[in-house]
Structure 1
Amino acid sequence: MDRYHDAPRNRFILLGASNLTLSLRLAIDLMQQRFGGPSEIFTALGHGRAYGVCSQMLLRGLPGIADCGLWRQLDLAEKYPTYALLTDIGNDILYGLPPEQVLRALEWCIGQLQKHATHFVVTNLPMTSIESLSERRYIFFRNIFYPSCRLSRNETISRARVVHHGLMGMAMQRRFKLHEQKPDWLGLDGIHVNYWQRKAFYQDLLDQFHVPGDKPEAVEGKRKFLLTWQQRPEFAYKTVFGRTVYCQQPSGQLADGSQVCKY
């Protein structure tokens, strides 16, 4: 890592699964346009990632977000203005975790965000698009993304509704911002944001942060350079072919000096 870059101005905590993984640099770029940079960035994400249970995608395994090393590292980190996103909820259901356990894992993560983040936003399950899935489409995408899952469409929707309503009650009780996603942004599978709508999706998500003050100046050409990878982040812990692989954090760096931890 380059020690001569400016010190971080803030910290971002980004929690999610496939959507966030596919749009990580975009999400960081939009957050820095709003909150400034360079930033210290903590991520827990990955295709198929879950909050309360270990996930397996092809030959790669990852711990549940609630059990990953991000939280221990945050306890040791210096204090910065911190902005967080918790998104891509729902994979736990297709891995067979009961709604009550899903909500317990989410509530634990939200409690940690309330401890560490100045401002954060949570996205709820996209129930409108999930409920619009036909039986044929549901089975098709379930077999592709969750080949070990045997939950029926009706059972999956029933469990998703419990988590959706549980998060609404949790948001009222714990007083955090819960954002409902627009179904028009989501593709045929009901859960992944359309490629050409990713920027609008994350801009709308960041509009939920009610933070006073002027946005930092952003020059388009300069930002494109600053948001290129000098070093791509690697997972702090994963399993591959059943073999444990560790990587010291932070493991990634952007051209503006922002350092990225990936758990």
Structure 2
Amino acid sequence: MSFAHPINAATKVQTQNPVLFILLGASNLSRSFHGLKCCIKRCIFPRPASFLHAMGPGRGYISGGGILNAVYSPILESGIFEVSRSKRIENQQVVALITDIGNDIMYDISSEKIIAGLQYLFNVLGEFETNIFITLIPVDLENDVNESLFHIIRQIYFPKSSVEYSQALNSVNAINAFI
């Protein structure tokens, strides 16, 4: 019994229809970006993949952000959607990963504004009939981070933030409920 090599078994349609991946996030995505791209390419082989991304440590969706000397514009104002429109091939499959949503909370953006921004994001990506994958904000403040630890973390990573523990807790819960 012989098995065809996957590339030999691939149809013309499979090898000629690239998938566009739009990756949006902050530090978690930045750290895993290279590995994620390699994994995606391997998983959809022989189909080609192209990638657009807006990411960076401390990056927000609504608010500008960053860490140390790196400063980023808000993801929603980064121009990625305009680039997506111009780069996308007609009828091309588009997949989006939306992650690292919580930074805006620490920049004192209300949960209502963050949810409105996410809704805008869904609407824009809907124009491309995008398959959307979104992660919840992964922290459970009530069980994982007490108020004292919250203030220490806030001081280290968001030294200009005045967000209080209860405000962050309510925002995380509201945004995760929306998602």
TM-score over 0.5 (shorter chain): yes
Structure (1 or 2) with the greater helix fraction: 2
| Contact 1:127–1:161 (CA under 8 A) maintained in structure 2 | no
Q: For 1:116 and 1:27, how far apart are their aligned partners in 2? A: 22
Q: For 2:158 and 2:87, how far apart are their aligned partners in 1? A: 36
Show the counterpart of 1:157: 169
Q: For 1:23 and 1:44, how far apart are their aligned partners in 2? A: 13
RMSD between aligned alpha carbons? 1.9
Show the counterpart of 1:24: 33
| Contact 2:62–2:75 (CA under 8 A) maintained in structure 1 | yes
1:94 and 2:106 matched: yes
- Structure 1 runs (4+) greater than 3 angstroms displaced: none
Q: Whose Rg is larger?
A: 2
Deviations 1:133-173 (A, max 9, x none): 01222112111111111222122111211222222xxxxxx
State the one-letter code of the partner of 2:134: V
Q: For 1:34 and 1:119, how far apart are their aligned partners in 2? A: 16
Show the counterpart of 2:59: 49
State the one-letter code of the partner of 2:160: S
| Contact 1:103–1:166 (CA under 8 A) maintained in structure 2 | yes
Which of 120, 124, 148 is matched with 2:160 structurally? 148
Q: For 1:31 and 1:110, how far apart are their aligned partners in 2? A: 22
1:39 and 2:54 matched: no
SS in 2 for 1:89: coil
Segments of 5+ residues of structure 2 without an aligned counterpart are: 1-14
| Contact 1:12–1:41 (CA under 8 A) maintained in structure 2 | yes
Aligned identity (percent) is 25
Q: For 1:114 and 1:124, how far apart are their aligned partners in 2? A: 20
Segments of 5+ residues of structure 1 without an aligned counterpart are: 1-5, 168-263
| Contact 1:86–1:121 (CA under 8 A) maintained in structure 2 | yes
Question: How many equivalent residue pairs?
Answer: 161
Larger mean CA deviation between 41-50 and 69-78 belongs to 69-78
Show the counterpart of 1:84: 96
Shift of 1:57: 2.0
| Contact 2:20–2:51 (CA under 8 A) maintained in structure 1 | yes
State the one-letter code of the partner of 2:60: A
Q: What TM-score results when the alignment is normalised by the length of structure 2?
A: 0.82
Q: For 2:119 and 2:50, how far apart are their aligned partners in 1? A: 24
Q: What TM-score results when the alignment is normalised by the length of structure 1?
A: 0.57
| Contact 2:26–2:58 (CA under 8 A) maintained in structure 1 | yes
| Contact 2:20–2:88 (CA under 8 A) maintained in structure 1 | no
